[in-house]
Amino acid sequence: MTPSGLSSASSTSTSAPASALLPHSPLPLPRDFYDRDTLQVARDLLGCQLVRLHQGKLMIAQIVETEAYRGSEDSACHAHRRKTPRTEAMFGPPGHAYVYLVYGMHWLLNVVTQPEGNPCAVLIRAVEPVEGEDAMRALRNAKGRQLCNGPGKLTRALRVDKALYGHDMTRSEQLWITQAAAPAVIASGPRVGIDYAQPADRDAPWRLWHEGNPWVSRAR
């Protein structure tokens, strides 16, 4: 399995990886792309394109920052201890959206990973506009990179909210992710806003970003 979730042919002198042959595919990433180790999915999502179809308008943004949340072994994960109505989607099939509200005002977008019943997910932390930027700015009135250089910002710019909770992102309907070129350099560090977690989990380098990309959030 290649990082794009596409099977590749046996290696020959003329063969190329699927990501090289298909620098951008309009098709959604398949379910088996997400049915893997969460940290690997978080890494492989960098460079992919988040596609939103809203009221007839197409908006596309490149994923430049992610965070991995690794289920029962991760005290920073919402589903660390038990299943709740809020976290039900995390226990479902991989490739579905887990959308939740923080501070009573910001919706955050995650995509579920690993086999059903293992509550893991990847948070989409920041994106860079590729297509439909005017439509994004009509939904979120912000200057420059403030448009979508953070998890709560990007959901406003793409109009992602509770209506998309549990949405199947392996189908090209409303919201999905497509394969695109991976970044040249990927950096990692501790995740943001998880002071409640155990020290080892707070320090784990499970936040990943496209090094040098100006749309990456300013981690606090």
**Residue 5, pLDDT score:** 37
The yes-or-no verdict on residue 12 having pLDDT over 60 is: no
pLDDT tens digits along 57-115: 999 999 999 999 988 888 788 777 778 888 899 999 999 999 999 988 999 999 999 99
Tens digits of residue pLDDT in 176-215: 999 999 999 999 999 998 878 888 888 999 999 999 999 9
Residue 220: pLDDT band by 50, 70, 90 thresholds? Answer: low
What tens digit of pLDDT does each residue of 16-72 get?
333 333 345 579 999 999 999 999 999 999 999 999 999 999 999 999 999 999 888
Buried b (16+ CB within 10 A) or exposed e, 106-123: ebbbbbbbbeeebbbbbb
> Which amino acid, residue 86?
R
Tokens of 82: 């038990």
Taking the model in full, what pTM does it have? 0.86
Instruction: Identify the H or E element spanning 102.
Output: strand 97-102
By mean pLDDT, which of 73-77, 105-109, 120-124, 136-140 is the weakest? 73-77
pLDDT of residue 190: 93
Query: Is residue 4 pLDDT above 90, yes or no?
Result: no
Can you list the domains of the chain with their CATH numbers?
A: 27-210 (3.10.300.10)
What pLDDT does residue 182 have?
95
How far out from the chain centre does Cα 143 lie?
Answer: 23
